[in-house]
Amino acid sequence: MPPTLTFDIETIPDVPGLRRLYNAGPELSDHDVAEMALLFRRQQTGGSDFLPLHLQRVVVISCALREGERFRVFSLAEPDAGEAEILRRFFDGIERYTPQLVSWNGGGFDLPVLHYRAMLHGIAAPRYWDLGDDDRDFKWNNYISRYHTRHLDLMDLLALYQPRAYVPLDDFARLLGFPGKLGMDGAKVWEAYQRGEMAAIRDYCETDVVNTHLVFLRFQRLRGVLTPQQYEAEIALVRDTLAASDAAHWREFLTAWRA
């Protein structure tokens, strides 16, 4: 069974990029530049300040890796690494493990953001971008195709690729009995970042990625990849792994899960 890597990202406005595009000088603070861009966006869209994907800077990639007998959750994040290093380590992991990638809306948000930002930083990701030129197996199952499973966007697949059938991860995870989102949501990340709350952003992203992994396990049971006994063993592995941690966000997660 190949390793699976469930992933989620958190982003903030790309202030250096916005300065370049808007010719904003040093007299404007980072906060002012971002607020200017958000205001322009609200004017363009009639209310939404969600920035285009190429103007979103990655500050966290959280991962849940299931490999061999192990399950572990980790983050590539500021302040330990800058954006270029975060992206490089993520794609290096794909180069090393060739995992099945699992996401919730990864095809609509996370991966396109990673594409744009990796190009900005000049990062090479040959395994990820292999469409069968170097490995014939990738011709019929690669990371890029929407309809292949080497990257499985659970939200997209469960909705049968129909946007009107998309559901939020938080709703669906809680509907299945899992904890759902804890602490914040994506709309609050920029505010939290400005307050220096990187640990809270990272913890939030990690709980999101474990929710996604748990939904993926239920999907694997649905499609017959896991027997009921195997499914319960996988759930127990996640619980036991989180219970072995002293981190407060996992204690909160497990308490919500028991409820």
Q: Which tens digit of pLDDT belongs to each residue from 88-146? A: 999 999 999 999 999 999 999 999 999 999 999 999 999 999 999 989 999 999 999 99
User: What CA–CA distance (Å, rounded) separates 98 from 7?
Assistant: 14
For the cut 90, the answer to whether the pLDDT of residue 185 exceeds it is no
- Enumerate helices (H) and strands (E) in the chain, giving the number of each: 12, 5
User: What CA–CA distance (Å, rounded) separates 231 from 54?
Assistant: 38
Element spanning 60, H or E: strand 56-67
Q: Which tens digit of pLDDT belongs to each residue from 60-91? A: 999 999 999 999 999 999 999 999 999 999 99
Query: Which CATH number does 4-258 carry?
Result: 3.30.420.10
Q: Which tens digit of pLDDT belongs to each residue from 220-243? A: 999 999 999 999 999 999 999 999
First to last CA, the chain: 32
